């Protein structure tokens, strides 16, 4: 036989030598959930081992993440029910939880890249990413609001805003708004190909942000998030966001969309990120709890596959575990 591929797999040193995909700490984006209050570290029931923090304890958490070698954070807030409305007015409060959290994090770990979630759902009494009118999530008014929200985050100190809403035209509108307000160095990570996925379930538990069960309010996000059956449409979304000035484009979720990550990487002139979402984390945790999967092996395999598919950056709830694993490997 002339070709014996097994020669390059004979032992660990040989396998390490020819390994094509390497994970490193700087690849990972750490999602953070902030809540009101003090001394709070509450576990999200559908995301075992992942927590919501009040700002005092979030401070310790971001210091730990920095010491592990994490470079970027992606901040979400859980908004109190009585502060929610249809327009998400609280999102623009300069002393709102998001703005306070941004200031605290930039004071505590000024050298990390702080990304912030721009979308209405945590603030919306209907749990939608835009403003609801007559049973529809209206686009252009929502975009105007999201641009104001991005400015508010930039004023508080965000390095990169991350619109996760999937309204049309929001990247361009946010870019113009940021530039006009003097924030030309604040970047945009666009959730470009975000699918209407069941795998966001645990995240909606974490933030209590699921679409409400109410007459005339859509219970799903299918009029703005993408149909999982479509690939070409994802590339259209990516191209639009690139043309509108996105600095990073994202595909979300990750594992069920590796083909989309690869195709995005092939056409993208900017870094590609992938979001290994809450349900993907929960599946591995649940199977491991039952003894059906080895948690560490499943985590490493999934994250390696996401990077191999073309993701330069990966947002994952396994961020601490994977970095500790990589450190232990030396």
Joined together, the tokens standing for residue 256 give 């069920």
Of 194, 265, 285, 307, catalytic: 194
The H-or-E segment that residue 272 falls in is strand 272-276
**Nearest distance from residue 164's CB to ligand PBG, in Å?**
4
**Binding residues among 16-75 for ligand PBG as defined by CB under 6 A:** none
Cα separation, 327 vs 25, whole angstroms: 9
Question: Which residue in 65, 114, 119, 161 binds ligand PBG (CB under 6 A)?
Answer: 119
**Binding residues among 83-112 for ligand PBG as defined by CB under 6 A:** none
Residue 278 interacts with ligand PBG (CB under 6 A): yes or no: yes
Q: Which one of the spans 83-91, 105-113, 148-156, 196-204 is the region binding ligand PBG (CB under 6 A)?
A: 196-204
**Binding residues among 146-175 for ligand PBG as defined by CB under 6 A:** 164-165
Residue 147: partners with Cβ closer than 8 Å, 6 or more residues away: 170, 173, 174, 176, 177
* Of 203 and 318, CB closest to ligand PBG: 203
* Of 117 and 237, CB closest to ligand PBG: 117
**Nearest distance from residue 15's CB to ligand PBG, in Å?**
32
Binding mask 234-273 for ligand PBG (x = CB under 6 A): ----------------------------------------
* Of 104 and 115, CB closest to ligand PBG: 115
Cα separation, 238 vs 206, whole angstroms: 28
How far from chain centre, in Å, is Cα 15? 32
Q: Within 13 Å and on the Cβ side, how many CA atoms surround 9?
A: 3
Cα separation, 293 vs 329, whole angstroms: 21
Cα separation, 88 vs 93, whole angstroms: 10
Do you find a cis peptide bond into 293, omega within 30 degrees of 0? no
Q: Which residues are near ligand PBG by CB under 6 A? A: 117, 119, 121, 129, 164-165, 200, 203-204, 221, 277-278
């Amino acid at each position: 036989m002339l070709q014996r591929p097994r020669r390059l797999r004979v032992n660990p040193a040989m396998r390490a030598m020819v390994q094509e995909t390497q994970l490193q700490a700087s690849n990972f984006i750490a999602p953070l959930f902030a809540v009101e209050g003090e001394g709070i570290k509450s576990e999200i029931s559908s995301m075992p081992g992942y927590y919501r923090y009040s700002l005092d304890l979030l401070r310790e958490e971001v210091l730990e993440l920095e010491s592990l070698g994490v470079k970027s954070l992606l901040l979400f807030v859980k908004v109190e029910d009585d502060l929610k409305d249809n327009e998400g007015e609280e999102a623009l409060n300069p002393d709102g939880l998001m703005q306070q959290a941004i200031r605290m994090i930039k004071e505590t770990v000024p050298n990390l890249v702080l990304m912030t979630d721009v979308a209405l759902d945590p603030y919306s009494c209907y749990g939608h990413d835009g403003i609801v009118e007559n049973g529809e999530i209206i686009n252009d008014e929502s975009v105007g609001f999201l641009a104001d929200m991005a400015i508010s985050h930039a004023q508080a100190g965000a390095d990169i805003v991350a619109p996760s809403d999937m309204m049309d035209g929001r990247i361009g509108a946010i870019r113009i708004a940021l530039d006009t307000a003097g924030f030309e160095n604040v970047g945009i990570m666009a959730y470009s190909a975000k699918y209407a996925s069941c795998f966001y379930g645990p995240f909606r538990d974490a933030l209590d942000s699921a679409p409400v069960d109410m007459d005339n309010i859509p219970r799903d996000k299918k009029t703005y998030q993408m149909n999982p059956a479509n690939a070409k449409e994802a590339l259209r979304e990516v191209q639009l966001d690139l043309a509108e000035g996105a600095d990073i484009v994202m595909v979300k979720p990750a594992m069920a969309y590796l083909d989309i990550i690869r195709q995005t990487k092939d056409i993208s002139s900017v870094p590609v990120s992938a979001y290994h979402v809450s349900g993907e984390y929960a599946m591995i945790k649940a199977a491991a709890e039952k003894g059906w999967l080895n948690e560490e092996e499943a985590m490493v395999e999934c994250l390696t596959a996401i990077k191999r598919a073309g993701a330069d950056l990966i947002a994952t709830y396994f961020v601490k575990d994977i970095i500790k694993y990589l450190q232990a490997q030396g």
